Amino acid sequence: MKKNIVVLLLFMTCNIYCFSQDIFLEKQKGFQYKRYSFLDSLNVKEPNFKYVDIELRVHYILFAADTLNRKFMQIIKDKNGLWSGKSYSYYFYNDNNYNYKDVIIDNLSLENWDSVWQTIVKENYLNLPTESDIKQKGDMVVVVCDGQDYTIEVLTKKKKRCISYGNPELKYERYSEYGIEYYEYERFLQLIQLLRTELDL
């Protein structure tokens, strides 16, 4: 009897662990890859899901900067469960003109990425709405011309999602000052802060 109980508990533990590693993505209509022309010029193609399980892409923009003002980070989990990543830093002029000469490419260490990823999945951050889909509350709209822009793409064979926010820190701060609560901005900032523990954002 004791032997059967031990086997049952081990089986249940395995099921719980395996389920926790799954990623559930809500379907997003009209998905398009971000900065496709730039990525194509660097030979960054769409994931080959014969070898890739999940790919996370992070685009970061710092407006009004005189130095390398954009980053693109590519984090890939292969079919063997191993993570790897690269970071691209470059200067942006307009949608069709990039300073390719000064592109800096580095490998990401991802020392604590397993822990970061588990938190991302557990908190369901990857199913946050993109900023353009947030329903406006009241008549107040915060508009910022310069600042920062973040786009996160999560790519799997079956589903793909893109989450993009412009100046989320400043907007969240301004809305909060007027007592307007935007759960989406708060949650997205939690995700960015989590990514900053492992990535240079």
Q: How confident is the model at residue 8 (pLDDT cuts 50, 70, 90)?
A: very low
Using alpha carbons, select from 18, 73, 76, 31 the residue that is nearest to residue 50. Answer: 76
Query: What per-residue confidence (pLDDT) applies to 143?
Result: 75
Q: Look over the chain and give the mean of its residue pLDDT values, rounded to a whole number.
A: 82
Single-letter amino acid code for the residue at 192: I
Query: What per-residue confidence (pLDDT) applies to 98?
Result: 58
Task: Give the separation between CA 64 and CA 93, rounded to whole angstroms.
Answer: 11
CATH number, residue 66: 3.30.1560
Decide if pLDDT at 34 tops 60. Answer: yes
Within a domain: 1: no
Q: What is the mean pLDDT of residues 95-104?
A: 63
Within a domain: 186: yes
Using alpha carbons, select from 23, 16, 25, 197 the residue that is nearest to residue 113. Answer: 197
Query: What per-residue confidence (pLDDT) applies to 30?
Result: 86
Within a domain: 76: yes
> Which tokens hold the place of 57?
């892409």
Query: What per-residue confidence (pLDDT) applies to 74?
Result: 96
Q: Sheet holding 70-78: strands in order across?
A: 104-107, 83-90, 70-78, 52-62, 148-155, 160-166
Q: How confident is the model at residue 201 (pLDDT cuts 50, 70, 90)?
A: confident
Within a domain: 201: no
Check if the beta carbon of residue 32 is closer than 8 Å to that of residue 162. Answer: yes
H or E, element range at 94: strand 92-94
Report the share of the chain in percent with pLDDT over 70: 80
* pLDDT tens, residue by residue, 54-75: 999 999 988 765 665 788 999 9
Range of the domain at 172: 31-196
Residue 112 vs residues 75, 109, 118, 119, 198: alpha-carbon distances, Å: 13, 9, 10, 11, 7
Within a domain: 147: yes
Within a domain: 22: no
* pLDDT tens, residue by residue, 116-151: 999 999 999 999 999 999 988 876 777 776 788 999
Within a domain: 141: yes
Q: Can you give the pTM of this predicted structure? A: 0.82
* pLDDT tens, residue by residue, 42-52: 788 899 999 99
DSSP string spanning 5-69? Answer: HHHHHHHHHHHHHHHHH-------TT---TTHHHHHHTT--S--TTTEEEEEEEEEEESS-SS--
The listed range with the strongest mean pLDDT (20-24, 143-147, 194-198) is 194-198
Decide if pLDDT at 13 tops 60. Answer: no
Give how many domains the chain has, as a whole number.
1
Within a domain: 17: no
> Which tokens hold the place of 22?
């799954």
